[in-house]
């Protein structure tokens, strides 16, 4: 198209710079306003604490220690470390750097990099939605336990309660307190039961806390994490010191780490190690991308990611000492084998550990410490999701990362993830509640719907994008696989040309200012 410079050029709408000329005085006008820049963390520490709060959560406390003792003790660390360096750190770094490079969240980053895969962003947000809904319920349970901990006698320490049935034992008391007093468990999933108003109010409290943690974006979240991400470590150290001083703690730690090399031949051990890495590091949800997008472009995210991953795994390892020292004490007090008291998941937080706390001196104090730690771990994991390529990484951090990282992205990590997925399909068994209750057919169908509602968004978006994009099929695919020109690397490459172009445009405006419309109308000049 003809330009003011008298040069014939092909139209490039995406690269036009529109300049508006007015007749008010000698003003040259204004360049069209740039998109509003994304918020940034006030300092690097806010980013570190926010990511640490997101990845260091309940799984570090109630999942890793159990998997470690279940899968051969110390030898479980061999597959765990292998998955950490081949999958955990590479994926963690990839997601974080993707957000920092594009300065976009979990959805719009794909729109900038490869629009064809924007469905990945939508699918991950569905997963985040489901995760947030169940995490907030766990927070509600914890609040109810915390409020119950201030009583003169812990309610789960006594068998003389209205909800206690059957055997009058310490285990029965804790078990029935959780299932009947807290959950109000019915006979089946088809019997909803009545509203538990105390639990509903705790749920409301949890939602309100989450809202005030994120209501002002990274400005509020960055300040909240100073406390919520560090206080759990204080509580963990207190519980660790207390646990190590209890009788029976040594037996519990030996049970936690005693190696059984024969377990390495069991494929399930490797499966558990891989699932723990993916679960604990919060990858493939878009949250790390969103948190990384608030970084400065040249932040050394490679170093940050390595340190955060090591901190996460170290926290899981140390938490095992705090948990199994207390479980060893409980096993010795009750005269049973420690395998009879070890639990995983919510059973550890709401049955096994409260039962152990009830046997300690000053049980209310230790119960408060434990449940406050659980609340902050869960709150950080809940808050994170709600916050609104190799050469590219070199541009950002200023040096080339470990070459092994590149090969992990290209070959190792995809191969391991594929094998893990296929093995999980082969070993799949229908889910049962408490290993006893089988859900009706429509319960399994509902679970399948939740799974497909996130995964099907990827191919459905591809189909939709191809259908609405103009051109031939080859042109559509090429356009949908082409990165946007306004990402930092493209902008950086064109910076020298733009500087010269801007100087030329200003000179052109000066020489053509006298030719503006005499009626004072605004003229728009397009320069390619």
Domain ranges, ordered by start, for the chain: 44-388+406-466
Burial group, residue 221, by CB count within 10 angstroms (0-12, 13-18, 19+)? buried
Top-confidence residue, 212 or 499: 212
- Closest by CA to 424, choosing from 286, 268, 233, 226, is 268
Q: 19 φ, ψ to 5°?
A: -120, 125
- pLDDT greater at residue 3 or residue 422: 422
Give me 489's structure tokens: 């690397």
Query: If you ran DSSP here, which 8-state letter would residue 437 be given?
Result: E
Distance CA 4, CA 108 (A): 35
- What pLDDT shows up at residue 366? 86
Query: Of 141-150, 187-196, 227-236, where does mean pLDDT reach its minimum?
Result: 187-196
Structure pTM? 0.74
pLDDT confidence of residue 198: 87
Rounded average pLDDT over 174-195: 69
Mean pLDDT of 408-421: 84
Cβ atoms of 103 and 290 closer than 8 Å:
no
Q: Pick from 417, 224, 414, 257: which is nearest to 328 by CA? A: 257
Distance CA(410)–CA(406), nearest Å, equals: 6
Element (H, E) at 18: strand 17-21
By the 10 Å C-beta count (0-12 exposed, 13-18 middle, 19+ buried), 118 is classed as buried
Residue 7 has pLDDT above 50, yes or no: no
More confident residue, 444 or 222: 444
Reported residue count of the chain is 528
Whether 21 has a pLDDT exceeding 80, the answer reads: no
Q: At what angle do helices 363-383 and 118-148 cross, to 10 degrees?
A: 160
Phi-psi region at 516: left, alpha or beta (left = phi > 0; alpha = psi -120 to 50): beta
- Choice between 170 and 346, residue whose per-residue pLDDT is larger: 346
Sign of the dihedral through C-alpha 296, 297, 299, 301: positive
Lowest-confidence pick of 7-16, 162-171, 268-277, 463-472 = 7-16
pLDDT band at residue 179, thresholds of 50, 70 and 90?
Answer: low
Fold held by 44-388+406-466: Hydantoin permease (1.10.4160)
Q: Do residues 283 and 408 lie in contact, with contact meaning Cβ atoms separated by under 8 Å?
A: no
Annotated binding site: 53, 60, 280, 312, 377, 380-381
pLDDT of 157? 67
Provide the pLDDT for residue 352: 72
pLDDT of residue 13: 41
Confidence at residue 502, expressed as pLDDT on a 0 to 100 scale: 38
Segment 432-447 mean pLDDT = 83
Q: In Å, what is the CA distance from 453 to each residue of 123, 266, 457, 515, 516? A: 8, 33, 7, 60, 57
Helix axes 44-55, 363-383, angle to 10 degrees: 110
The most distant pair of C-alpha atoms in the chain lies apart, rounded to whole Å, by 99
pLDDT at 267: 87
Classify each residue of 234-255 as buried b or exposed e, where b means 16 or more C-beta atoms within 10 Å of its C-beta. Answer: ebbebbbebbbebebbebbbeb
| Whole-number pLDDT of residue 520 | 46
More confident position, 219 or 374? 374
CA distance linking residue 123 with residue 110, whole number of Å: 12
* pLDDT of amino acid 457: 93
Residue 134 near residue 465, CB atoms below 8 Å: no
Contact between 293 and 109 (Cβ < 8 Å): yes
49, 230 contact by CB (below 8 A): yes
Tokens 């974006």 correspond to 217
What single DSSP character describes residue 190? T
* pLDDT above 70: residue 264: yes
Q: What is the mean pLDDT of residues 115-144?
A: 89
Res 284 pLDDT > 70: yes
Grouping H, G, I as helix, E, B as strand and the rest as coil, residue 435 is coil
**pLDDT at residue 268 above 50?**
yes
Extract the annotated binding site for Na(+): 53, 60, 280, 312, 377, 380-381
The rounded distance, in Å, linking the Cα atoms of 65 and 272 is 12
């Amino acid at each position: 198209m003809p330009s003011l410079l008298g040069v014939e050029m092909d139209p490039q709408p995406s690269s036009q710079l529109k300049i508006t000329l007015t007749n008010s005085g000698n003003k040259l006008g204004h360049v069209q306003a740039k998109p509003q820049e994304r918020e940034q963390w006030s300092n690097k520490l806010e980013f570190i604490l926010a990511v640490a709060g997101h990845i260091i959560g309940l799984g570090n406390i109630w999942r890793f220690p159990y998997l470690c003792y279940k899968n051969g003790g110390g030898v479980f660390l061999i597959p765990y470390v292998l998955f950490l360096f081949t999958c955990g750190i590479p994926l963690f770094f990839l997601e974080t750097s993707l957000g920092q490079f594009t300065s976009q969240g979990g959805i719009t980053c794909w729109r900038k990099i490869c629009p064809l895969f924007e469905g990945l962003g939508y699918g991950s947000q569905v997963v985040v939605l489901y995760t947030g809904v169940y995490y907030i319920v766990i927070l509600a349970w914890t609040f109810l336990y915390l409020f119950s901990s201030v009583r003169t006698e812990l309610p789960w320490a006594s068998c003389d309660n209205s909800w206690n049935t059957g055997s009058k034992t310490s285990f029965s008391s804790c078990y029935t307190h959780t299932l009947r007093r807290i959950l109000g468990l019915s006979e089946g999933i088809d019997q909803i039961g009545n509203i538990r108003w105390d639990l509903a109010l705790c749920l409301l409290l949890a939602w309100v806390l989450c809202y005030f943690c994120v209501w002002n974006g990274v400005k509020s979240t960055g300040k909240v994490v100073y406390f919520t991400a560090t206080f759990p470590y204080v509580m963990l150290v207190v519980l660790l010191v207390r646990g190590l001083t209890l009788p029976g703690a040594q037996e519990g730690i030996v049970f936690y780490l005693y190696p059984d090399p024969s377990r390495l031949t069991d494929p399930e051990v490797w499966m558990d190690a891989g699932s723990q890495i993916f679960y604990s590091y919060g990858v493939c949800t878009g949250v790390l991308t969103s948190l990384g997008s608030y970084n400065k472009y040249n932040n050394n995210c490679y170093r940050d990611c390595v340190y955060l991953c090591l901190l996460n795994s170290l926290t899981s390892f140390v938490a095992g000492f705090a948990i199994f020292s207390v479980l060893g004490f409980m096993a010795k007090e009750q005269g049973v084998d420690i395998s009879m008291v070890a639990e995983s998941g919510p059973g550890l937080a709401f049955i096994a550990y409260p039962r152990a706390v009830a046997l300690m001196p000053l049980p209310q104090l230790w119960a408060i410490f434990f449940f406050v730690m659980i609340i902050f771990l869960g709150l950080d994991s809940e808050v994170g999701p709600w916050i609104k390529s190799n050469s590219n990484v070199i541009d950002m951090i200023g040096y080339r990362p470990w070459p092994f990282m590149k090969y992990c992205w290209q070959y190792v990590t995809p191969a391991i993830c594929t094998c893990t997925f296929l093995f999980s399909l082969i070993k799949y068994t229908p889910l049962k509640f408490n290993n006893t209750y089988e859900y009706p057919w429509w319960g399994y169908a509902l679970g399948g719907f939740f799974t497909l509602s996130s995964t099907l968004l990827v191919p459905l978006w591809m189909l939709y994008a191809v259908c609405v994009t103009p051109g031939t099929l080859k042109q559509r695919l090429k356009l949908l696989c082409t990165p946007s020109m306004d990402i930092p690397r493209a902008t950086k490459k064109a910076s020298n040309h733009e500087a010269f172009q801007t100087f030329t445009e200003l000179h052109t405006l000066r020489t053509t200012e006298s030719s503006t419309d005499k009626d004072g109308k605004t003229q728009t000049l397009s320069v390619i």
